[in-house]
Amino acid sequence: MDNQNWLALEKALRRQEELYWENPKYGLSSRQDLGWEDIEEAALRLDRFRPLIKKLFPETLPWDGLIESPLTEIPKVKAALEEEGIQWKGRLFLKRDSDLPIAGSVKARGGIYTVLKHAEALAKTVGFAETLNYSVLAEAPYRQLFQDHTIQVGSTGNLGLSIGIAGAALGFQVIVHMSQDAKSWKKELLRQHGVVVKEYASDYSLAVKEGRRLSEQDPKSFFVDDENSKDLFLGYAVAALRLKDQLESRGIAVDADHPLAVSLPCGVGGAPGGIAFGLKSVYGQSVLPYFIEPAACPAMLLGMASGKHDAIAVGDIGLFGQTQADGLAVGRPSGFVGRLVEPMIRGIGTFSEDRLVDYLKLLFEKEGYFVEPSAASAFHLLFQAARESWDKETTVILWATGGSLVPKEVRRVYLEGR
Ligand SMILES: *Cc1c(COP(=O)(O)O)cnc(C)c1O
């Protein structure tokens, strides 16, 4: 980006204006450290774990031990949008990771995958083999082994829930380092699962840093590094293989004449980046991934547009990063993810805070699904310039990244304002 453009963009970002940034590097080729084989390996590992997942989490029985969510068409929302003049040729779907089993958010994909992979590696040190039935990992001697080990993670909330609930179910001690944005109900729920929650009166990056430091001091502690983890990323990427099946079973074509636009709420970048990476591996140029971020905290946009990735944070342009979208309250993007997915993200949109409750209510009132504020931000794509470039018949998927664990009282506050 030339200096003039960058200055104009930086000014708009500083003012927290809503904007849509079209990625000039979209479609350029780049060297990639991860590929199709890595996604397949992750999918195979999750398959092997199905017997254990069913045993520890009976709510996955309907999915036969897969951690997966429905893809649901939301025609009443589409009709309501049309009345407001928001139109395009093609259908509108909600990917309901808000209803993912175990952790109720997109973090159930990457987080639980990472915990399982770590457990598998530990179990192999005491004679476990991949040919065994994985449900034995819930029993001696493996359970004792896990009880003797710690997992730590820094989180704005949902990653902690995912790692905490899965880790504790296997027997691990789990310590979650939480930033100030984390909702108190998320902390309480974790404590109910026997997880140690450490709170920091600072932002997310510091919670991660401190967690990483404390974990390094303990040889039996494993740190899940949200800013740098390939395992998390690949756990998210597997979503694309599952989505492909879901679209095929409905007879929905995705090809050059029928593009797929996907709206992904973005925090540090791992979940939306992993999903975008998986989708690009499956659909190539026919899929258009978009990231959505709070105007108050546009970390990935800042990192990509400046080319500085994790060498810049929203604080550097005078933003405090405060947002109701707690899952997106991340001031510094993942450099690993930003560099990897830079040529794959069509554009990034930012939204103002006052939009969230409207989106959340629109979905709930028209279709009856509740999602949390971070997830509701996916709707913002439909209100932005991106839509104007969809000249072909375009299937749109809004990725609802979280919601089912939100307590009733908290839901009522969002929906009714009290
Ligand atoms: C974590 C999270 C995101 C974004 O994922 P990142 O990996 O942080 O980019 C989006 N929505 C919800 C509900 C989340 O919890």
| Span 54-65, pLDDT tens digits | 999 999 999 999
Q: pLDDT digits over 78-124, tens only?
A: 999 999 999 999 999 999 999 999 999 999 999 999 999 999 999 99
Q: Is the CB of 400 under 6 A from ligand 1?
A: no
- Asked if residue 146 has pLDDT above 80, the reply is yes
Q: How far is CA 249 from CA 89, 215, 253, 309, in A?
A: 21, 44, 10, 38
Is 107's C-beta closer than 6 angstroms to any atom of ligand 1? yes
In this predicted structure, the answer to whether residue 202 has a pLDDT above a threshold of 80 is no
CB of 402 within 6 A of ligand 1: the answer is yes
Does the C-beta of 158 come closer than 6 Å to ligand 1? yes
DSSP letter, residue 255: B
* Atom nearest to 157 CA in ligand 1: 15
pLDDT attached to residue 135: 98
Cβ distance 284 to 393 under 8 Å?
no
Confidence of residue 30 (pLDDT cuts 50, 70, 90): confident
Q: What are 45's two structure tokens? A: 């590992």
How many CB atoms are closer than 10 A to CB 5?
Answer: 11
Q: Is 334 in the pocket of ligand 1 (CB under 6 A)?
A: no
Is the distance from CB of 237 to CB of 373 less than 8 angstroms?
A: no
Pocket test for ligand 1, best of 69, 95, 328, 332 (most atoms within 8 A of CB): 328
Report how far residue 398's alpha carbon sits from residue 395's, in angstroms, rounded to the nearest whole number: 10
Q: Is the pLDDT of residue 264 over 80?
A: yes
Give the whole-angstrom CA distance, residue 75 versus residue 395: 12
Give the pLDDT confidence score for residue 282 in this predicted structure: 97
CB–CB of 397/265 below 8 Å? no
Residue 205 pLDDT > 90? no
- Does 73 score more than 80 pLDDT? yes
Q: How confident is the model at residue 372 (pLDDT cuts 50, 70, 90)?
A: very high
Give 89's Cβ-side CA count (13 Å radius).
8
Mean pLDDT (whole number) for 126-146: 96
The mean of the pLDDT values for the chain is 95
Using pLDDT thresholds of 50, 70 and 90, give the confidence band for residue 187. Answer: very high
**Residues 6 or more apart in contact with residue 220 via CB below 8 angstroms:** 148, 149, 150
Between 5 and 68, name the one with better pLDDT. Answer: 68
Give the mean pLDDT of 267-292: 97
pLDDT on residue 388: 84
Which pLDDT does position 172 carry in this prediction?
A: 98
- What span, in angstroms and rounded, lies between the C-alpha atoms of 365 and 370? 9
The three-state secondary structure class of 14 is helix
How close is the Cα of 374 to the center of ligand 1, in Å? 7
Torsion angle in degrees (nearest 10) through CA of 131, 246, 224, 403: -130
pLDDT for 206 beyond 90 = no
Average pLDDT over residues 126-144: 96
Using a 10 angstrom Cβ sphere, with 0-12 exposed, 13-18 middle and 19 or more buried, the burial of residue 347 is buried
Interval 186-204 mean pLDDT? 92
**Nearest CA residue ID for atom 2, ligand 1:** 327
Q: Is the minimum distance from the CB of 108 to ligand 1 under 6 angstroms?
A: no
Q: Tens of pLDDT along 306-340?
A: 999 999 999 999 999 899 999 999 999 999 999 99
Select from 285, 288, 282, 340 the least CA-distant residue to 31. 340
The span from the CA of 301 to the CA of 314, in Å, is 10
- Consecutive H or E run containing 79: helix 75-83
Is the minimum distance from the CB of 313 to ligand 1 under 6 angstroms? no
